[in-house]
Amino acid sequence: MAHDINKLWEQDKAHFIHPFTDFSVFEKEGCDIITESRGEYVFDGKGNKYLDGIAGLWCVNIGHGRREMGQAMAEQAERMAYYSPFNNLSNVPAIELSAKLAELAPSNLNHVFYSCGGSVANDTTVRIVHYYFNQLGQKDKKIIISRKNGYHGTTYVSSSLTGIESNNWGFDTADQFVHHVAEANCYRRPDGMTEAQYCDYLVEDFESSIRQLGGADKVAAFIAEPIMGAGGVLVAPEGYHRRMYDVCKKHGMLYIADEVVTAFGRLGHFFASEAVFGIQPDVINCAKGLTSGYIPLGATLLSDEIYAVISKPQREGAVFSTGFTYSGHPVACAAALKNIEIMERENICGNVRDVGPYLEQQLKTLLDLPIVGDVRGSHFMMCIESVADKATKALLPMEANVGKRIAEQCQKRGLIVRPIAHLNVLSPPLIWSRETVDLVVGILRQ
């Protein structure tokens, strides 16, 4: 379909408030209006075709333009687009999806609460965790420990969990029950520390923070991404998550895995916590890849232990009064079921386990370039860190805008990568082949 791009741009500027946008740059430089997408590619309204290196925003895991996805949603919308999920009402796709998620998730996670995305899933989790401890009579146990540079969303509570300072500049946060500990950044760990020593240091710092905050009486939970995404694709040292989990259990805390990015195949498994990191969290949150971004949906997976408490409140007849009009929306749940069916049928996780290590290996060949300080990540979640000096790891000045300029040069050559300050992130659709990887690494080298 032909579009009047200039008219659209004027309307965009006048009426559409873009998230995470520097309005001064936006007004000066405009934006690319993506009008169509197919498989690994997206197209703008000016006739340009780009390889999508970021799966929209870490989410279009099965690739773009799948007719079956559209059909599944259309059929559900025609049959029964919406009805209330409150109280004693339910719908078929939400029931079937919950059973499927319970089957795919670690064995202790059998209860699903739905929202419309990752921020709301995290926000809701805090509300449920507080309610859970209230039911147990531990009313002072409210602090949630999160990590500096972690990203958990931008609702009021999830933005408070988010530890990226620039994200919250000018906004208020709910500091009364959130505490941030150090992130695990192996590339920029203190000089002279081995990775194992760094892991000891982070775990000890975590445990001493818990003690300082009042220990088991006050600290409710720890929330972490298995691999930190927007904070710089930071892979923690070997054994880190297991040890943080053990500290949580020692102090009667819950472990919340924010798998909004890592679930649904990005690391080669439906959920990464157990399959990759060997832990069974008390809560897993997912969104994005759950529907491959075809429609908004978030899910909070709760353990049997949490459900046993919240489903038997202390007050006779008390109602679990939390939830949304669109919790378990039939059309979104039908899309998630179809997405999972496609992933299983095409063995998408298998493709990630096969091509992922090749992507890592080929991207690491870029380390011979003078500007590339670090190439890190795992499978289909990768990042390149640019530096001014590899020996000192000194950064280029902010005005150099290195991430943005690399992204612009890639885009001119037909590849979209995401700039985050001096970083460039690759989080592609999970259907990339080795040939696509070769093409991408060739463009990045140029």
Choose between 122 and 135: whose C-beta lies nearer to ligand PLP: 122
- Least separation in angstroms between CB 369 and ligand PLP: 28
CB atoms within 10 A of CB 420: 18
Residue-wise over 75-104: b if at least 16 C-beta within 10 A, else e? Answer: ebeeeeeeeebeeeeebebbeebbebbeeb
Contacts of 276 (CB under 8 A, 6+ apart): 226, 262, 267, 268, 269, 378
Choose between 141 and 241: whose C-beta lies nearer to ligand PLP: 241
Q: Which of residues 13-32 bind ligand PLP (CB under 6 A)?
A: none
H or E segment at 290? none
Choose between 157 and 261: whose C-beta lies nearer to ligand PLP: 261
Compute how many residues bind ligand PLP; rule: CB under 6 A.
14
Q: Which of 153, 237, 289, 330 binds ligand PLP (CB under 6 A)?
A: 153
225 binds ligand PLP (CB under 6 A): yes
Q: Which of residues 118-137 bind ligand PLP (CB under 6 A)?
A: 118-119, 122
Site string for ligand PLP, 284-303 (x = CB under 6 A): ---x----------------
Q: What is the C-alpha to C-alpha distance for residues 74 and 152, in angstroms, rounded to an integer?
A: 31
Q: Which of residues 326-345 bind ligand PLP (CB under 6 A)?
A: none
Choose between 284 and 306: whose C-beta lies nearer to ligand PLP: 284
Q: Which of 230, 257, 272, 337 binds ligand PLP (CB under 6 A)?
A: 230
50 binds ligand PLP (CB under 6 A): no
In this structure, the dihedral spanned by the alpha carbons of residues 340, 346, 348 and 351, taken in order and rounded to 10 degrees, is 170
Choose between 153 and 330: whose C-beta lies nearer to ligand PLP: 153
Question: Measured at the alpha carbon of residue 116, what is the angle toward residues 110 and 119, in degrees to the nearest 5?
Answer: 90
Is the CB of residue 420 less than 8 Å from the CB of residue 232? yes
231 binds ligand PLP (CB under 6 A): no
229 binds ligand PLP (CB under 6 A): yes
423 binds ligand PLP (CB under 6 A): no
Residue with CB nearest ligand PLP?
A: 118
282 binds ligand PLP (CB under 6 A): no
117 binds ligand PLP (CB under 6 A): yes
Residues in the chain, total: 446
Choices 23-31, 114-122, 187-195, 333-341; region in contact with ligand PLP by CB under 6 A = 114-122
H or E segment at 285? strand 283-286
Nearest to 313 by CA among 88, 137, 127, 119: 137
151 binds ligand PLP (CB under 6 A): yes
CB atoms within 10 A of CB 53: 25
DSSP codes of every residue in 295-333: S--EEEEEEHHHHHHHTS-SSTT-------TTTT-HHHH
Residues lying near ligand PLP in the complex (CB under 6 A) = 117-119, 122, 151-153, 225, 229-230, 258, 260-261, 287
